[in-house]
Structure 1
Amino acid sequence: MSEEMNQVEVKSFEIGDSVTGTVTKVEEKQVIVDIADSKLDGIIPISELSSLHIEKAGDAVEEGQKLELEVLKVEEDALILSKRKVDAKKAWSELQQKFESGEIFEAEIKDVVKGGLVVDLGVRGFVPASLVESHFVEDFSEYKGKTLTFKIVELDQEKNRLILSHRAVVEEEMGKQKHALLDSLQPGQILEGKVQRLTDFGAFVDIGGIDGLVHISQLSHEHVQKPSDVVEEGQEVKVKVLNVDKENERISLSIKETLPGPWASLSEKAPKGTVLDGVVKRLVSYGAFVEVFPGVEGLVHISQISHKHIATPHEVLKEGQEIKVKVLDVNEEEGRLSLSIKELAEKEPETVDYELPEESKGFQLGEMIGDQLKNLKN
C-alpha cells in the first residue's frame, strides 16, 4: 500500500514543475528540503543553489528558509531540484525591464575575478574593469563585499550574458552636476579650484566637477614662458570666471585677476624721490617707457632724459638698456608713473672763453723766452 502511494506521489511530479520547499538540512554539498503535499525528499545540489560558484551550501541558504524551486529530475525516493533556475527566470524578466528603462540599482560585489567584478542578480552579472570607475583602478581587491550602483549595458538571455557598468552611473551623475554648475556660473565669480593638467597654452582647473581653462596670459601679471613656471598639477588655486559658453561647455578662468595687480601699493614701494633700477622697454618721440617692476612701466619724458637738449630719445637711449631712474610722481589709480634720468646725472659745467688783454698778447711769450735764455747763461 505504501509503495503504491509512493508511486502515485512520484508520478505526480514532472521535470520542469514548480514546487515550494522548506530547508530542513544544510549539508556541505547539498540541501535537503521538505516539499509541501509530498512525502518525497527534495534535494538541491550545491551547483543548483546559486548562479555563482560557492564553496559550501550554507553560503546560499539556511535551515527553515522557504524556497521556490524547479524539478530537474524525478527519482524513486527523491526530487532533484534547482533554486538557481527559478531565480534566473525571475531575474531575467526583472533585468529586461531595468535594461529597457535604464534604471539604476544597487548590488553587492560577490567576487573579484581577472578582468573585473562579479555580482549576483539571480543570474551572474559581470562588470568589466573598464566599466567600474571613470578613473583607472589598479587593484580591485577592496571592492569585494562593497555595494555599488549599476546600469545594465548589455543583456542577452540566450547567451546568459549580463554586463553591468558602475562607470555609466558615475558619469551620468557627473554630467548632471556639470550642467547644474554651468547654469550657476556667472562671469566675475571667484572660485576655489585645483589644477588638473598643464598644456603649452595654459592650465585646466577643476572647479567642482568641470574643468575651466586658464590661458597662459591669465596665469600671472608677469610674462609667463610656460605654465609650469607658475603652477603645478594638484595645486589649489583661486580663479575668477571670465566667460561661460554653456553650449560648448567651455569656461574661461583667470588666476591673474585674483592676485594683487603690479600697481597695487606702488606708492609705498616706490614713493616720490625713490631711485630704481629699470630697463628701457620702448622709445617714443616724447620719451622712454622704463620697466621698474614686473608689469610696471613709467615714462621718462624727453625733457627728463638729459641735461642737454635732445631732439629724440634715440640719441641717448636704446631699448633693452639698463638704467637708474628717479621717481617724480606715482598715480596708482590711473596706472601712471613719472620718472627722471636727468635728476640722477651731474650737470656738466658750461665752457667759458676768456680773452687776454691786447697789451698782454706776445708780452708773456717774450718774457718766457727771455727767462729761459737767462737760465741757460747761468
Structure 2
Amino acid sequence: MPENKIYLPEGLRPCAPLTPALLRDALEQETILEAPVERCDGSRALHISLGPIDGLIPREEAISPWISGASRDIALLSLVGKPVCFTVTSLAADEKGAPHALLSRRAVQEKALDHLLETLEPGMLLTCRVTHMESFGAFVDIGCGIVAMLPIERISVSRIPHPAARFRTGQKLLAAVLSIDRENRRFTMTHRELLGTWMENASHFSPGETVQGIVRSIREYGAFVELAPNLSGLADLKEGLKEGDRVSVYIRSIRPEHMKVKLQIIQRLPPPIYPAPLRYQITDGKLERWVYSPPSYEKPPVVTDFTASEISGSDADIIS
C-alpha cells in the first residue's frame, strides 16, 4: 500500500456533493475535502461550489508560502478548473444572508508536509499525480498539492526525449522516494525501479517473435528500439528511420549475460496516439536495493541503493 493514503494527491479524492450538515461535520472534525475551483477573483481568492453553499479560499489560505512560486499570481490562476484540497475553517452567512464557507488549502498542505517529512524514507512508494512537465523531468503531486521532482533519467531505463513521451498531465502513477531534503523540505522521486528488472521485462518476449517498439536512439552502428519502458534492443539501421518512430521488429536473440536484445526492423508503423500504459512490477512495500542487471551479467551490476541514495553501474551498460 502506498505511504500517502492519508494525504492523497489533489484530483484523487472523491468530490462528493456536500450538504450543510456534512460541512458542519467537516468543520468540527477538520476533515479534508476536495472540489474544483470555479473561478479566481480580482483579489486572487478562489471560489468553490460546495453544492448549496459557496466556498471561498482567501489568497493567503490558497497556497502555503514555503511552496516555490507561491507568491506569483500564476500559481493561483492556474488552479481554476482543477480540484484542490481544503478544510472548512468557518461557516457563516454572506451580506445577502446566503450560507457561506471559508476554506483553507494552506492548512491541509502544512499538515501534509509535516506528515510526509516525519514519516517518509527513501524507498517508500507513493501514489502520485503528474502536475506538469519540463524537458528535465516531471513534477508530481505527492499529497494535497505538495509537489516533488521526478528527474527524466529516473522515469524509465529506456531514455526518452521528454517526460511527455511517457506521461500525460494529470496522470496517476506510482513512484518511490529517492531522496529527502528535510532542510529545504523537498522530495526527489524515482519511477524506473517500479517498472521491473531487465529479466522481468525480457521474460515477456521470445526470439522469433515480431513485436512493436519505439525508436529511442540512432547511432552509427544501429538503432535502439524500446520494447518496454525498461527494455531496449539494438537493430540495424533502416533508411529514413527517425527517433520517435513506431516500428515493428523481429526479435533475433535475447542474451542475459550481455544484457542485449538483437532486433531486426520490419517496417515503420503509424505513430501512437497516447503513451503506452505502464506495467508495474512493484506496487507496495519499501525498496532498499534494486538490481536491474541479470545475475549472469558479465559487467558490474546496475543498482539503486535506497539506503545511500546512490546508483552503481553505468546507464551506458543498460542500453548499449
The TM-score by the shorter chain falls in which range? 0.3 to 0.5
In the superposition, the TM-score normalised over structure 1's length comes to 0.35
Structure with the higher fraction of residues in helix conformation: 1
Structure having greater relative contact order (Cα 8 Å, sep ≥ 6): 2
Q: Which has the larger radius of gyration?
A: 1
